[in-house]
Structure 1
């Protein structure tokens, strides 16, 4: 792989994994961040400082430069990207917008979800703004020949990220024999993807002309119920018979208001994906990290990083109330 790639942002979990994978495949990678990245930056990556939402900075960035692919990891609203159409149209062969599979309507009218499934999110702010940004950029593709590719991750994690809302608090409660609240009846289906698997599926899309004008759901890995996700984490933490207590999303939202929006408009719904387009564009991709392995890596990371093992006492008290008063 001999491509020049510019990451706008990309110092977070999946961006860092993608940068490592791109460098491993021989790409020349530059990342632009406003501040010092919190995660280690892979050797060989060029780092620049600047605000990619600032028109003057973007103009100076593109002057005299051209990339095979520009990836925007930090576009959340149309205003974040409106200046990019003019700035990058002639500076790159491909502009990749990182969106989210949360843009799809809930409940999904028909499963499995494909790239053409309806997008609709009138309430959940993050997803609603991503829908609007996708639509803005798609119009630029149709009207101005902007070389757009939309990539939609779903629920991605690595060893530093516990993929349940209750985080390490749930692990400590399970180890102490205390109940952990799971929304609904715990049987809705969900998909998790390790960041390294995301990166191996994603990087071959960069510079891939077959992906221009396309949206691609980069989703794979294990399909699990929410009970299975909790049970797998419990097993990795050495808990054989954790106490999972089921409560409605509405009841949980009363005690934990910050969870209300994401539960009602995201986590409570079964999400299954058709990955035909991804497999057509990246035929050699297959996930390597099962959630069983991923969960063991998570527990190992937290065991060796005591500062990360925070317990939210307010959340724990809310769980106690939900368990005592159904």
Structure 2
């Protein structure tokens, strides 16, 4: 199997390359080469996804059986890449997101749910940011889906719509933030209902499913965990590997946090009150071979990475994460005073 991975050294791309090499596939990566080293045993082509001349030069290194594209964010750029690779790749697997749905995070979602309307040649600023949604990010991903499907056709296109992806080498930093907070111990502000079910998926499971699709599965697939584990399970797993003795989780209700202006999704990562956030049906992907490991395994492996290599969280999204110690203490004091603790 000859595989092209666009990127290939960053989080999901890295996991895809590792899993493909484990299968003894012939792997080519296309990257700028500005950070990190090339993985061993791959063919590396230098170039910029946004530069048509670089992409045209990449095509000369083909053909490939499939390409996996985690870099699709701007429709007109993805359209240019798809057109350049059309005659050199049999199948295009594009990594989209549940944010491409018009109803996320408010409504339960299946693959036939309405997708945001975005032209295949749209630029980076197309759409708008709503609260709770949609977002320019979601519009862009929807346009990238359209760009690939319109170029390769439905029979040669696979669209993956993951929800939250966690695991080693996570660059956003949601799970690393919680691990470091639990490592700090003390009284920890825990958000909402501990019985709330959640659906984060391990990056390695997304990678494995992407490779399965690359072998010949077309269509659109939501890629999430089944939603049988809870936020309590999640923070419990974080505490089990990172927290010192005496650490206590204080679960504050949604209403208290919302009334105090706590920013959902960022100030307390992964906490969001909207009903559709963790109600994404991935049964179609499971029927096609998606398997997901227990959340505790993802947490444990991520903790080993955090204390071993340490995450590099210098991106804009990571900078938005986390509540300050002072604000957390003030909220805990207010909440506990209301309950006379």
Alignment TM class, shorter chain as reference: 0.7 to 0.9
**Contact (CA 8 Å) 1:188, 1:269: kept in 2 or not?**
no
What's 1:279 paired with? 286
What's 1:203 paired with? 211
* Cα distance change on mapping 1:139 and 1:266 into 2, 3 Å: farther
**Contact (CA 8 Å) 1:186, 1:246: kept in 2 or not?**
no
Q: TM-score, normalised by structure 1?
A: 0.79
What's 1:30 paired with? 28
Structure 2 unaligned spans of 5+: 117-129, 315-320, 336-341
CA distance in 1, matches of 2:225, 2:197: 13
CA distance in 2, matches of 1:245, 1:237: 18
> What SS class does the counterpart of residue 286 from structure 2 fall into?
helix
1:46: Cα distance to partner?
A: 1.3
What's 1:223 paired with? 228
CA distance in 2, matches of 1:197, 1:256: 29
1:11 is matched with which residue: 9, 24, 27? Answer: 9
2:294 is matched with which residue: 282, 290, 295? Answer: 290
What's 1:179 paired with? 188
**Contact (CA 8 Å) 2:166, 2:175: kept in 1 or not?**
no
> What SS class does the counterpart of residue 284 from structure 2 fall into?
helix
* Cα distance change on mapping 1:240 and 1:139 into 2, 3 Å: farther
**Contact (CA 8 Å) 2:82, 2:152: kept in 1 or not?**
no
Show CA shifts across 1:8-54 (max 9, x none): 1132112111111112212111111112453x654211112110111
CA distance in 2, matches of 1:268, 1:35: 41
What's 1:20 paired with? 18
What's 2:54 paired with? 57
What's 2:111 paired with? 115
1:141: Cα distance to partner?
A: 4.8
What's 2:44 paired with? 47
**Contact (CA 8 Å) 1:192, 1:223: kept in 2 or not?**
no
Show CA shifts across 1:89-119 (max 9, x none): 1111111111112323234544xx3222233
User: May I ask how many residue pairs the two structures share in their alignment?
Assistant: 310
> What SS class does the counterpart of residue 201 from structure 2 fall into?
strand
What's 2:100 paired with? 103
**Contact (CA 8 Å) 2:268, 2:323: kept in 1 or not?**
no
1:240: Cα distance to partner?
A: 6.6
Structure 1 unaligned spans of 5+: none
Worse overlay, 225-234 or 122-131: 122-131
Determine whether 1:128 maps to 2:134. no
Q: How does 1:148-167 map to 2 (within 5 A)?
A: 148-161=157-170, 163-164=174-175, 166-167=177-178
CA distance in 1, matches of 2:311, 2:75: 37
CA distance in 1, matches of 2:11, 2:227: 19
Q: TM-score, normalised by structure 2?
A: 0.76
Aligned-residue CA RMSD (Å): 3.6
What's 2:79 paired with? 82
What's 1:190 paired with? 198
1:85: Cα distance to partner?
A: 3.3
> What SS class does the counterpart of residue 106 from structure 1 fall into?
coil
